[in-house]
Amino acid sequence: MVKRMSAEHKHDEGVLLVVSGPSGAGKGTICDALRRLHPEIRYSISVTTRPQRVGEVDGVNYFFTSVDKFKDMLQQDAFLEYAEVYNNYYGTPRKQVLDLVHEGKTVLLEIDIQGAMQVKKKYPEGIFIYIVPPSLQELSHRLYARDTDSKEVIQMRLAKVISELELAHQYDYIVVNDKLDEAVDKVRAIMVAERCKLSRNKEQIDTIFEKYITREVM
């Protein structure tokens, strides 16, 4: 008689979705839509030293902290990635993210391109998606329209876009955010397809195979 293994204590590897793109490309809007469609997705909350904006909640949008505390965490190797962006630090808690992935969860990580490249080195199994606007002119329009940054900061962001695009080939997928609904559908399709990969579902496949064998023997 074939001995049936218990599946209750087994977990297939989850999926770490890393979404990046220039500021104003719409990656935040896409990620928000994806979370509404798939409430089971776990959202990684970054630690940052930048000032808290109006409407943001500590522990929901970011974990806001001081520069000194952030540097202490760096010394403890507490980040999966970190970056200095426009004179502010951002970092992703390593243990929080990897524990969820190892438990079989889908974790969504929305970070800048600097951080994404660090994650790729430390966890190459992640799925890396780069969101781009249809044109530089459209990106400029979006940045000015949202009215959250000064003219000088916006010019800095626009100047950095070209250099960032040179790294886009290191991502697994590129999604052009021309029409929001279509962009969301594409990112959603990527996530669903990656979830179904055999390499991420070995325990499930073993369990199904075992059930077939058991029935044949019995």
CA-based radius of gyration for the chain: 20
Identify the pLDDT of residue 3. 42
User: In this structure, what are the phi and psi dihedrals at residue 171, rounded to the nearest 5 degrees?
Assistant: -85, 160
Q: Residue 217 — very low, low, confident or very high, per pLDDT cuts 50/70/90?
A: very low
Considering its fold, how many domains does the chain have in total?
A: 1
Q: What does the pLDDT look like over 57-99, one tens digit per residue?
A: 999 989 999 999 999 999 999 999 998 888 999 899 998 899 9
Residue 118 lies in a domain: yes
Residue 174 lies in a domain: yes
Give the residue, 183 or 112, on which the prediction is more confident.
183
The fraction of the chain above a pLDDT of 90, given in percent, is 54
Round to whole Å and give the CA distance between 157 and 24.
Answer: 9
Residue 205 lies in a domain: yes
From residue 176, alpha-carbon distances to 44, 132, 179 in Å are 23, 5, 8
Of the listed ranges 35-39, 142-146, 180-184, the one predicted with least confidence: 142-146
Q: Residue 8 — very low, low, confident or very high, per pLDDT cuts 50/70/90?
A: very low
Q: Residue 34 — very low, low, confident or very high, per pLDDT cuts 50/70/90?
A: very high
Residue 143 lies in a domain: yes
21 in the Ramachandran plot: left (φ > 0), alpha (ψ -120 to 50) or beta?
Answer: left
When pLDDT is averaged across residues 181-199 and rounded to a whole number, the result is 92
Residue 129 domain boundaries = 15-42+104-217
When pLDDT is averaged across residues 186-204 and rounded to a whole number, the result is 85
CATH at residue 34: 3.40.50.300
Residue 74 lies in a domain: no
Give the residue, 10 or 144, on which the prediction is more confident.
144
Mean pLDDT across the chain: 85
